[in-house]
Structure 1
Amino acid sequence: MESAETFVFQYLSPSMQQFFIPLEPNLHVKAPATIPYFLQEQIRELIIDGTFRPGQPLREQELEQRFGTSRSPIREALRLLELTGLVVHMQRKGFRVRRYAEAEIRQIYALRAELAAYGLRQLDGMICGELLHELRACDRDMARAHAGQDVRGYAAFLRAFYLTGVRYARNTPLEDTLARLYEQVEPMRYLFLRHALAHLAYDTFHGEVLRALEAGDALRAADAARAHVLDHLPGIVRAYDEAAAETAVL
């Protein structure tokens, strides 16, 4: 049975096919079924990997040429991205990649740190073998991604690690909120990891959390998660500011 990604690809024009960005198979991303959603995913990847930098205008005419499609699905894709927080629309200026001020980045990461810690605290008395099995699988996936310097894969598995813990806490509103926060900060995480991953141990961002949960200590895991998020915030801010500064000279 052909994949949804292959199904979408065969309906693209030749000019659009050359800009098709294959999704990494280990990310298990469900390919969208309509062209606007397909374009949303493609533009999203270009934002996350820094091709489209913070604050950069996303001109519909240029995107039409890049993807070989009409303006209507491009505009719809941009509006879908606006809902995720990756793109903003400015009156009479059109769409652009969202650019965060340093204060906003610090606020978002402080919120993420507290929510991640809160989710892990809820696992107190609920840690089970099935949960640890899933977390260890994420740990192994991160080790492989780190060994291959696969930044996108590493970031995806790290995200899965923390969301798995929240899912086992059976707090759907918290899981949804954290997933949206992860989506907003994905470009920042990529920009940081692209430069820092080679110099860090593979378990820098989750090792203490996993060891605490293996010891049955959800409260210690929560404290470790908060520290993992906040300890690397200065480097994240610096990497993001450098990328935003490059946009200013384009």
Structure 2
Amino acid sequence: MAETHPWRRYVAMGDSFTEGIGDPEPGSPGGNRGWADRVAEVLSQQVEDFSYANLAVRGKLIQQIADEQLEAALALKPDLITLSGGGNDVIRPGTDPDRIAEKLDALVGRLAETGATVVVFTGVDTAFTPVLSRMRGKIAIYNENIRKVAQRHGALVADQWALTELQDARMWDRDRLHMGPLGHHTVARMVLATLGVENSLQPMRPEPLPPRTWRKARTEDLVWAREYFVPWVIRRIRRVSSGDHVLPKRPEAVPYRGEEHHTAL
């Protein structure tokens, strides 16, 4: 295939979203694939000597990403960097989206100084979810700050807020906090479009979900609250992260062809 993009060394930074939680793949490091792996697979098919590292760890706040991932990312000398951070900060009660954006600004500034292409992400429009919809205004403020940060430093914006496909429940994992395989695939397509990279990834068109009775829907809500939402709230109260003691799944930028995967895109 003809070379269609300029990047040879890609580093992904962030939290569970970039780590790939919700998109299980036994053949991938860490047991998860995710949108970043999917993007790397496409990029690796179009150029020779392509390398990819993923430093993201679930549960990380923006300052933790800066403290734990920045120097490691710079040491790898990437020419393409994706950074998704601040979402865990925004959904914490009492946090200020402007203060969070100040930390993001400092981090993006350091990355941009390298001359690498930097991609940042807006948050998802949570209007579709009853629990997180109350945070919609706060996320929208943070998104506007992200756009200002990107403009200031010449970064690209991967706009999840505008990605209306994510309003579909089928895009999300059972825990309703992380995207499922379809969501990660959809984000990968969006990121590649943001980079201007042609690819053969196709929109997935799964069969509609079977109709659910009111009783079944309420039962599923109760199960979700007990198994996922309540433990998540307790972790926030205790200031404990799901990523404590978890290491990055791809700490080194190694030659990457996506050949370890055996599942179709």
| Fold agreement, TM-score > 0.5 | no
Q: What TM-score do you get using the length of structure 1 for normalisation?
A: 0.31
Pick 1 or 2: higher relative contact order, CA cutoff 8 A, min separation 6.
2
- Which structure shows the bigger proportion of residues in strand conformation? 2
Decide which structure has the larger Cα Rg and report it.
1
- Which structure shows the bigger proportion of residues in helix conformation? 1
Q: What TM-score do you get using the length of structure 2 for normalisation?
A: 0.30
